[in-house]
Each structure stands twice: as structure tokens, then as C-alpha cells.
Chain A
Amino acid sequence: MKNRTFTCIICPNGCDIAVEYDDEGYFRCEGNLCPKGEKYVLNELTAPQRTISSSVVVDGGELPLASVRLNGPVPKDRIFDVMKEIRAIRLKAPVKAGTVLIKNIFGFDSDLIVTRNVEKKA
């Protein structure tokens, strides 16, 4: 039997969730205010996932950068690979929020999307 505690990152409540589990599939958790917490902890135990936000460079815009984020989580250990992809992108103004830059990044159910409009420099 193993014991661990997690701080749930799904919402600002940040529940402290205590977990009991073993390798045979036994799993019990307490401290989560909602079912999302249980799902989060299960993921953390098996395949932790994260989303990230960053920026891509924009040429000819009112701002030099457009912010971007993943709209779904990817395995935590792929975060720096995602950053590599983000660094390689170069956009031309105007840029629209919501534009998908990479669909299903690395084959995961997660797109890299633009999160702000950047107009052409006046």
C-alpha cells in the first residue's frame, strides 16, 4: 500500500488530496471537493498531464508577440518539446485569437491556439 498527497491544479481551490493505492489497482482518495480531483490524481499517478502557455513571434504587428496556449493537456514530459515547436513559429500580422497553429500536437488531443489578436502595425 502506498500513500501520497497531491495538490489539485484543476481549479483555484487547490484541494489537498490524500491517496492510498497499490500496484494491483487499489485506489482510494479523499480531500477532493469534486470528481475532477479524483481524475486529476489518477492521471498524476499514471501519466501526468499539463497545458502550457507561451508566445510566438509576430512580424509587422502592433505587438512583437502573440500569446498562445495548448487547449488540452499533453504529457508533462513533452512540455519542453512543445516549447521547441512554439519557438519555431513565426507569424505575420494580423493574427486572430483562436487561430489553430498546430492541430493535435504530437498526435495528442490538444491544439496550440493563438490567444490574442495582434493587428498590423499602423
Chain B
Amino acid sequence: MDVYRKGAWMMITEHRNVIIIGGGPAGLAAACALYDKGVKDILILEREPRLGGILNQCIHDGFGLSRFGETLSGPEYAGRFIEAVRQRKIDYITECTVINLDNNKCVTAAAQDGLKKYQADAVILTMGCRERPRGGLAIPGDRPSGVFTAGVAQSYMNLHNTMVGKKAVILGSGDIGMIMARRLTLEGAKVEAVFEILPYPSGLPRNIEQCLNDYGIPLYLSHTVTRINGKARLSSVTVSEVGRDMKPIKGTEKEWPCDTLILSVGLIPENELSLQAGVVLDGRTKGAIVDENGMTSVPGIFAAGNVLHVHDLVDFVSLEAEKLAEGVSAYLQDAGEGNQKTCAIDIQTDETIGYTVPQKVSGKKDVTVSFRPKFPSQNRVFEVYQGDRLLTRKTVRKAIPAVMLHIDIPAEKFVSEETVRVVSHEE
């Protein structure tokens, strides 16, 4: 149809110092910190009708212990940052979805009042992450209704006042899955069990305690759903034990009747826009490769929060985003002193460590490296080397993949332009 060919539409490009894509915890924290550093021409673009991102549906408490020294619910935690944005009169537009970003920091966004085009000096990517769906796991069986990812179920229950089922099984011991186990139970559903394919839980120990153990919900490790049954609505799932090779063991199948399957099987940083702009991603984090300033491979495009790597605590998301402000403002003020180039020294890991963020450093600044161990262990020593030289070390009493670790490297420790390595071993 020709409805859209009503003559040439003039698109006016608006110039902005900084465009922040995504008004969740990372975007809000970055905006406030930047503002406080003197960068005032900021615009936050948020696709939802309200700021706050995923925190809006995370009504449970436990947020903010390290950031605010008290335990808050998701909406309260977000509320503090939203209030800070409003106090500073930082511009934001809600119900405005960025549909294109190029490597020249030109942003195109769609909203009810028109297609918007911005030219930014710097862009901050804070789009967060999304859930891995059933298809990504390729679980055999039927395709009935009643299979939800944990976040979708959470949104239905907490934002849309919609109850998803009466008898549930949860696959994956991610934190959202466990939190939904408790939520469903409190609302009168029966949660039969949580199954985790790994030999250890994916979520935080406190959530196993207060979301599962408190309500008598069993957690089966080294188990996975091997079949989804039900032609119309889900009627049961088949669960099998898995061996060390993570493959189901024949003969261990057991059928669990249920009408709802909640999947909590991983989060994936949402980097479609980053890829459009040519940002290079890290195959391990599925987020951008960034340097100590949070800058991606495309100068002037920065990233923080779950779009960069999936965090277990929002407090760290805020912290990461706030730290970004320094790099962004340096980038904006300065030309020539290297602030407009991505740092050159790589950080690598050995096979005991999942990844690090940042992946690149300059060797000229104090830097905090975030990383995750690949498997649980006790009394583990983490060390940072440059060549043969030990830069710093840290012993962690209980290291688990669910908990992100941080290690500080003071600027004066760096000795060369050589690659930095993060390794670990038993004490």
C-alpha cells in the first residue's frame, strides 16, 4: 500500500552531547554521574512507558545493600535513580525505541510522535539483557502453551496482574527462576521442583535458602528437562539425570505432571544495536569488548551494565555505569591525549575464569577488573600477571560462578604494554 509515500518527510537531526540508550539501572546511573561531572546535554531514550527497566518487575527485596546500605525492592531502587534524574532535570523520552545506531554515533529512534534522528558526540549503550528462550535449548517434545521464561512470568504476574498457572516446574536455578518459585508459591501455585543441569546452582545461595528451602521446594542438581509434553496446554515434563558430560542418562527419565514450565536458563546481553554500529563483541560475555573507560571498539560508544555482561547484583550495575562517566567526560573534553582511542593492552584469562570486564586497559590508570570463576571452589587464589610479573592477588574463601568477583589493579603496578593475565589456583 502506498500510505507511506505521501511526499518527502524531512527528518531533522538533533545534536546531543550524550545519548543513553536504555533507561534502566545502568542508563540512569550513568546519566546522573555524567551530569555531576559537568556533562549536562544528555538524553536518555527508553522504550518502555516508564524509566527503571527490568527493576520495575523485580518487586522482591534485596537490592541496594552495597549501594544504599539498606535492602530495597526493585521499584524502590529504581525510584531513587529516577528521582535523581528528575532532580537534575536530565532529559529523557519514554516509549521511544532506538531502531538504528551507526558507527558515527547517529541514532534513529521511533516514537508515537515521529521518527527521531540524533547525532551524538558519545553514545552509552545500556540496553540490558534478555532471556534465553526454549528454542535456544532445543528441548524435545510438544509445543503446548504454559512454557514461560522466568522474566516473562514475572512480568505477567507483577506488572500485568496475570497468573500463569497452578502447578509449575522450574528449569534452571538462575536467580529469577528461584525468585519466581517463591512468588508463585506465595500466590497459591504449587511449585514442584527446580531442576539444574549443572552440578552446582546458577543462582545465589541466599535465594536457594529463602526462595526454595523456606517453601520446601526441592532443587535437583545435574537434572534437566528432556521432554515437554502436552498437545494444547502443558501436561507434564520429562526430567532426566545428566552425567558429567551434561548428557541425559538413559533410564533415569521421570515424568513430572505440571501445567507450567518456567525457564531460568540464562540471560544474554542485548547487543543488536551494538552490532549495527560495528561494535566488536566478546564471545564469552556476549557483550562488547570494552576498555577501562567502558569504551567499546568504536570510539565514542560506551557500554555498561547487563548489556556488557550479565551481573548478579544491580548494585554493581550502578557502580559500573557510574564509573563510565569519567571515561565519557574525558572522551568529550579531550582530543589528543589518547582518551579518544580504545585502550591497547589486552586482559586474558586462564581456563578457570569465564571472562573479564574490561577486556582492555591502558596501564596508566587504577582499574577494577570484574570476572567470574568458571566453577565453584573454596579458598581460591586469583592472581593478575603481566608477563612474569605478579601485579596483584586476592584469596576468595568461597568462589562460585553465581557471584561476580572484582580485583583492583593500581596504576603503578603496570610495568609494560604486555598482555595482562588473570589466573587462579587452589591456595
Is there a contact between chains A and B in the complex with CB atoms less than 8 Å apart?
Answer: yes
Taking CB atoms, residues of chain B closer than 8 Å to A13 are 403
- Do residues A69 and B59 form an inter-chain contact, with CB atoms below 8 A? yes
The answer, among A10, A63, A76, for a CB contact under 8 Å with B214, is A76
Tell me the nearest residue of chain B to A117, going by C-beta: B79
Tell me the nearest residue of chain B to A67, going by C-beta: B59
The answer, among B65, B79, B157, B206, for a CB contact under 8 Å with A14, is B206
- Do residues B65 and A53 form an inter-chain contact, with CB atoms below 8 A? no
- Do residues B59 and A53 form an inter-chain contact, with CB atoms below 8 A? yes
Let me know if B99 is at the binding interface, CB within 8 A: no
- Do residues B73 and A69 form an inter-chain contact, with CB atoms below 8 A? yes
Taking CB atoms, residues of chain B closer than 8 Å to A10 are 206
The answer, among A9, A68, A76, for a CB contact under 8 Å with B206, is A9
Taking CB atoms, residues of chain A closer than 8 Å to B305 are none
Let me know if B160 is at the binding interface, CB within 8 A: yes
- Do residues A11 and B65 form an inter-chain contact, with CB atoms below 8 A? yes
Docked pose: A8 CA to B213 CA in angstroms = 12
Name the distance in Å between B378's Cβ and chain A's nearest Cβ. Answer: 10
Tell me the nearest residue of chain B to A52, going by C-beta: B186
- Do residues B186 and A83 form an inter-chain contact, with CB atoms below 8 A? yes
Tell me the nearest residue of chain A to B213, going by C-beta: A7
- Do residues A115 and B73 form an inter-chain contact, with CB atoms below 8 A? yes
- Do residues B313 and A12 form an inter-chain contact, with CB atoms below 8 A? yes
Taking CB atoms, residues of chain A closer than 8 Å to B71 are 51
Taking CB atoms, residues of chain A closer than 8 Å to B214 are 50, 76
Docked pose: A51 CA to B76 CA in angstroms = 16
- Do residues B158 and A12 form an inter-chain contact, with CB atoms below 8 A? no
* Given A7-B206, A64-B160, A117-B79, A12:B73 Cβ within 8 A: no
Which chain B residues in 125-154 approach chain A with CB under 8 Å? none
Number of B interface residues, CB 8 Å? 32
- Do residues A12 and B59 form an inter-chain contact, with CB atoms below 8 A? no
Query: A48-75 interface mask toward B, CB cutoff 8 Å, 1 = contact, 0 = none?
Result: 0011111101000011110111000000
The answer, among B59, B62, B204, B398, for a CB contact under 8 Å with A55, is B59
- Do residues B61 and A51 form an inter-chain contact, with CB atoms below 8 A? yes
Let me know if A4 is at the binding interface, CB within 8 A: no
A-B contact pairs, 21 of them (CB 8 A): A7-B208, A9-B209, A12-B65, A14-B204, A14-B206, A14-B403, A16-B205, A50-B210, A51-B61, A53-B73, A55-B158, A65-B158, A65-B161, A69-B61, A69-B73, A83-B186, A97-B76, A97-B79, A115-B59, A115-B75, A117-B79
Let me know if A92 is at the binding interface, CB within 8 A: no
Which chain A residues in 92-114 approach chain B with CB under 8 Å? 97
Taking CB atoms, residues of chain A closer than 8 Å to B49 are 62
Taking CB atoms, residues of chain A closer than 8 Å to B398 are 15-16
Taking CB atoms, residues of chain A closer than 8 Å to B313 are 12
The answer, among A7, A8, A65, A76, for a CB contact under 8 Å with B159, is A65
Taking CB atoms, residues of chain B closer than 8 Å to A117 are 79
Taking CB atoms, residues of chain B closer than 8 Å to A80 are 186
- Do residues A115 and B76 form an inter-chain contact, with CB atoms below 8 A? yes
Taking CB atoms, residues of chain A closer than 8 Å to B366 are none
Taking CB atoms, residues of chain A closer than 8 Å to B59 are 53-55, 67-69, 115-116
- Do residues A64 and B210 form an inter-chain contact, with CB atoms below 8 A? no
* Given A64-B160, A65-B159, A67-B73, A116:B79 Cβ within 8 A: yes
- Do residues A11 and B206 form an inter-chain contact, with CB atoms below 8 A? yes
Let me know if B312 is at the binding interface, CB within 8 A: yes
Taking CB atoms, residues of chain A closer than 8 Å to B76 are 97, 115-116
Name the distance in Å between B398's Cβ and chain A's nearest Cβ. Answer: 7
Docked pose: A14 CA to B159 CA in angstroms = 29
Docked pose: A67 CA to B74 CA in angstroms = 9
In the A-B complex, the 6 residue pairs with the smallest Cβ-Cβ separation, listed nearest first, are A14-B205, A116-B75, A67-B59, A64-B161, A9-B206, A115-B73
Taking CB atoms, residues of chain B closer than 8 Å to A11 are 65, 206
Docked pose: A67 CA to B57 CA in angstroms = 9
Which chain A residues in 21-54 approach chain B with CB under 8 Å? 50-54
Docked pose: A107 CA to B159 CA in angstroms = 30
Taking CB atoms, residues of chain A closer than 8 Å to B61 are 51, 53, 69
Taking CB atoms, residues of chain A closer than 8 Å to B187 are 54
Docked pose: A10 CA to B161 CA in angstroms = 29
Let me know if B60 is at the binding interface, CB within 8 A: yes
Docked pose: A6 CA to B205 CA in angstroms = 10
Tell me the nearest residue of chain B to A86, going by C-beta: B186
Docked pose: A97 CA to B76 CA in angstroms = 8
Which chain B residues in 223-258 approach chain A with CB under 8 Å? none
Which chain B residues in 340-398 approach chain A with CB under 8 Å? 398
Taking CB atoms, residues of chain A closer than 8 Å to B204 are 12, 14
Name the distance in Å between A48's Cβ and chain B's nearest Cβ. Answer: 8
Taking CB atoms, residues of chain A closer than 8 Å to B72 are 115
Query: B164-187 interface mask toward A, CB cutoff 8 Å, 1 = contact, 0 = none?
Result: 000000000000000000000011
Name the distance in Å between A38's Cβ and chain B's nearest Cβ. Answer: 16
- Do residues B161 and A12 form an inter-chain contact, with CB atoms below 8 A? no
